[in-house]
Structure 1
Amino acid sequence: MIEVGALRALRAVAALGTLAKAAEELGFTASAVSQQLKRLERQVGVPVLAPAGRGVVLTPAGEAIAGSAPEVFQALERCAEAARSVADGAPRGTLRVAAFSTGIRGLLAPVLGRLAERCPELRVDITEQDPDQALRAVDAGTADLALVHDADGLPAPLPLALVRRHVHTDVGDVVLSRRHPLARVDGPLDAELSGQAWVTSPPGTVCHQWFRRLFAGAPAEPDVRHLVDDFATQLSLVATGEVLALIPRLARPPLGEGLVALPLRRPPKREVHAAWRRSADTSPAIRAVLAELG
């Protein structure tokens, strides 16, 4: 009988290309993953992996097994969900959630208290992961629910075995000191931002993309004084009154009395979705979390 763990290991190697990356994804050592795959080869009687440079590739037999694995995972999950539904349908056990950091801060953390009161037998374990990683984790079965945001307006590609639901729209505001002249502007900000000094997230981040788009088509480059990834540190620089910051609402720490957030006339936005395996669609635990997220 083929072990489920070996199937998950083979799928991870197929997606990531090396034993080391697959092991990191699954939370095992490379040696443990290698042993699982050797047992799989003994069980099926043919090699499933072949060396390829510094990595590995699946043999035709390995590809055939990996291609059939999702059906096995879905069947097992349907069995588990059937057992839960035969009980009273109350959420129980452990739900593994993979989510991006500001989604944890702004969406998950605020609902955990209510969820614990409503579902005392449910434990929620959260792991911070970027959207692509989170979707891979759910697809591989190492997470049950993912919270992901789109990238520059484009949703992350969704594996065929997964479904998603929109749960939130995140919006960026300009944060500034109450002593700054713009703090007295009545209404959303627009042209007033020209010529201001800024602290912004480093290139390669979603927030930096937002910032660049804010000044697309402007006659001059914005005056970026500081590149800082941590939003609390950005706020400490904004508090000096020297610079402004563009910060998503989900990511924004408490402002304190000396700072104010003002809306933009054309604010940058990102859509947040929850994603889970189709075979877990009736999961009481997933449904409970989705109900709290709204």
Structure 2
Amino acid sequence: MIDVAALRALRSVATRGTLARAADDLGFTASAVSQQIKRLERQVGVPVLAQAGRGVVLTPAGQALVDSAPDVFQALERCAEAARSVADGAPSGVLRVAAFSTAIRGLLAPAIAKLRTRCPDLTIHVTELDPDQALRGVDAGTADLALVHDADGLPAQLPPSTTQRHLHTDIGDVVMSRTHPLSRQEAPLTKEDLVGHAWVTSPPGTVCHQWFRRLAPEDPEVRHLVDDFATQLTLVESGDVLALIPRLARPPLGDGLVARQLRTPPKREVYVAWRRSADASPAIRAVVSAL
């Protein structure tokens, strides 16, 4: 009988390219993944990996196993979820959710609060991961649900094993001190309104920095580069900088701050994704419903 964990390890090596990267995705050491692969080779009686320089490649037998693996995993998961769904239909056990930080704050935490009363036998474990890592976790079986957003207008690349549902449209607003000149403007702000004002913004490489570069006038004055939104708001309270902050990421504003809408606001779409083979899971249905 083939060890399912070992088969999952082989599939992760095939997807990620090295034992070390597969180990990161699976939460093991590279040595542990290597031992799983060796166990799989003993079970099938043929090599499944071959050395290629400093890395490894799949043998034809290994490729055949990887090609068959999704059917195996999905069949096993459907069996388990069918049993759970006919038992009493009540969500229970542990559900592992991988999500980006602002989705945890704005969507997942409120849903967990609802579920604590509705589903007392269900426990949610949350791990903060970027969308691509979260989707790999669901595909690899190390997470059950992923909360992801599109990448600057491009939808996240779903693995074939997963399905998704749209949850939310997140919008960015400009936050400023109540003493700032723009705070007195009631109409939505335009790009021209923002000329001549200083900013605190997220570092380059982040979605929010991409939003900022499209929104800001030419050669904007960026005084601070800060990744944490709560820290950005603390700097905004000084009264001389603006911040562009997604609504999901925004903690309650103090009395000294105000958010102003933009005429053409930046947006990102947020989705929840799970394995198709877990469609019948009472736990997944409950969490998706709460979200």
Which TM-score applies when normalising by structure 1? 0.97
Offset of residue 53 of structure 1: 2.9
Offset of residue 54 of structure 1: 2.7
Offset of residue 203 of structure 1: 0.5
Number of the residue aligned with 2:207: 206
1:36-71: CA deviation from partner (whole Å, max 9, x where unpaired): 100101111111111223322211111110111010
Number of the residue aligned with 1:151: 151
1:92-133: CA deviation from partner (whole Å, max 9, x where unpaired): 111111101111111001121110100011111111111001
Which TM-score applies when normalising by structure 2? 0.98
Alpha-carbon distance in structure 1 between the residues aligned to 2:237 and 2:107: 26
Number of the residue aligned with 2:75: 75
Alpha-carbon distance in structure 2 between the residues aligned to 1:270 and 1:243: 24
Q: Secondary structure at the match of 1:250?
A: helix
State how 1:51-200 maps to structure 2 within 5 Å.
51-190=51-190, 191-200=192-201
Q: Does 1:242 align with 2:243?
A: no
Offset of residue 146 of structure 1: 0.5
Alpha-carbon distance in structure 1 between the residues aligned to 2:265 and 2:53: 47
**Letter in structure 2 aligned against 1:195:** G
Please, which moves more after superposition, 106-115 or 53-62? 53-62
**How many residues align structurally?**
290
Offset of residue 4 of structure 1: 0.6
- Among the aligned pairs, what percent are the same residue? 76
Q: Secondary structure at the match of 2:249?
A: coil
Can you give the 5+ residue segments of structure 1 that lack an aligned partner in the other structure? none
Q: Secondary structure at the match of 1:168?
A: strand
1:179-238: CA deviation from partner (whole Å, max 9, x where unpaired): 0010000111112111111110010000000001113xx4x3111111111111111111
Number of the residue aligned with 1:28: 28
Alpha-carbon distance in structure 1 between the residues aligned to 2:223 and 2:165: 39
Please, which moves more after superposition, 262-271 or 189-198? 189-198
**Letter in structure 2 aligned against 1:136:** R
Alpha-carbon distance in structure 2 between the residues aligned to 1:82 and 1:236: 50
Alpha-carbon distance in structure 2 between the residues aligned to 1:209 and 1:169: 17
Number of the residue aligned with 2:274: 276
CA RMSD of the aligned region, Å? 0.9
Alpha-carbon distance in structure 2 between the residues aligned to 1:102 and 1:144: 19
